[in-house]
Structure 1
């Protein structure tokens, strides 16, 4: 064997070894990224559920003091039901959850028009819990969207994009609700 054949054989072996190592590393990275997005969405979903649990007692608390604001309360209840009925995916939940958050802020804003709400410990506790929940939703949403961006980069960048297509790994969906 000549030196050229030996060098060529070594180059072919090195290329095959590199491809053999890149494939599982890329595939495992895609699987890990996809699972991280799913885990991040689960945290968002838990926080959204917590918000849904706070709405009925908040409505009851405000109803007595703000009898004239029935429309605002009815709108909050309708939007809560709409958001709860949406599929548990980022794409399906973004818009209804955004509307629900706006309605919840409107109900909490009634406090300015009805100072007697300040004397209700239950309302104040619910308002505090809702504010904390909104902060937690926002943090979970940011984390979820960061992980979606990482997954999307992996499904679009070479060589993992080839492996993503082969295994039908799709990019994630951002969750846009505040």
Structure 2
């Protein structure tokens, strides 16, 4: 075998290795995007569950506390805005944060009513809301962890080059704006129930 054949074989092996690595890297990024899409789908289910709880909760509180009718209406409007299609998780987060803040104000108003805090229907809705908030927080952590991993890989070389050539863009985080918004809006009730020894 002469030197030119050996050189051609070496070039062919190198090209095949680089090509195989590029395909494997692309497929790895595609898997990561699929995980993000599935994680977002789970968050979306919980966000819809939370929005579905707003009308009965708002009606119950406004029915018992006529002074809270404006807060109940504002909460329902926030829920409607949050339910509209958003451009990306960051926009959805802004809308959901507004809903969380509105729910917090509404529940703070409801805290002034001894009848509501003792009502079984209100306790059930409150429990469902707390459960949903916990699922949203867990989903947010899962989604953001995978978004962070994808974004970190996009910044590495040469994998980031393959991603850019494949049109893969950085993931957008889904995060609460501030620590007050991150807390479940029902926390005031939970604290009060603990103080009362329930």
What is the TM-score with the length of structure 1 in the denominator?
A: 0.89
Q: Name the Cα RMSD after superposition.
A: 2.0
Does structure 2 retain, via aligned residues, the 8 Å contact 1:87–1:93?
Answer: yes
Q: Which blocks of at least 5 consecutive residues in structure 2 are unaligned?
A: 177-181, 183-198
Quote how far apart the aligned CAs of 1:24 are. Answer: 1.2
Quote how far apart the aligned CAs of 1:35 are. Answer: 0.8
Which is worse superposed, 83-92 or 62-71? 83-92
Misfit runs of 4+, over 6 Å: 4-7
* Alignment map for 1:7-26 (pairs within 5 Å): 11-26=10-25
Q: Which blocks of at least 5 consecutive residues in structure 1 are unaligned?
A: none
Structure 1 Cα separation of the partners of residues 155 and 9 of structure 2:
31
Residue in 2 aligned with 1:123?
122
- Structure 1 or 2: more helix by fraction: 1
Structure 2 Cα separation of the partners of residues 10 and 55 of structure 1:
68
Quote how far apart the aligned CAs of 1:60 are. Answer: 1.3
Quote how far apart the aligned CAs of 1:113 are. Answer: 0.8
Does structure 2 retain, via aligned residues, the 8 Å contact 1:26–1:159?
Answer: no
Structure 2 Cα separation of the partners of residues 78 and 16 of structure 1:
58
Structure 1 Cα separation of the partners of residues 91 and 160 of structure 2:
26
Residue in 1 aligned with 2:79?
80
**3-state secondary structure, aligned to 1:113:** coil
Residue in 2 aligned with 1:147?
146
What is the TM-score with the length of structure 2 in the denominator?
A: 0.81
Does structure 1 retain, via aligned residues, the 8 Å contact 2:151–2:171?
Answer: yes
Which is worse superposed, 92-101 or 11-20? 11-20
Residue in 2 aligned with 1:35?
34
Residue in 1 aligned with 2:67?
68
How many residues are treated as equivalent by the alignment? 177
Quote how far apart the aligned CAs of 1:102 are. Answer: 1.3
Does structure 1 retain, via aligned residues, the 8 Å contact 2:26–2:163?
Answer: yes
| 2:118 equivalent to 1:101 | no
Structure 1 Cα separation of the partners of residues 87 and 143 of structure 2:
14
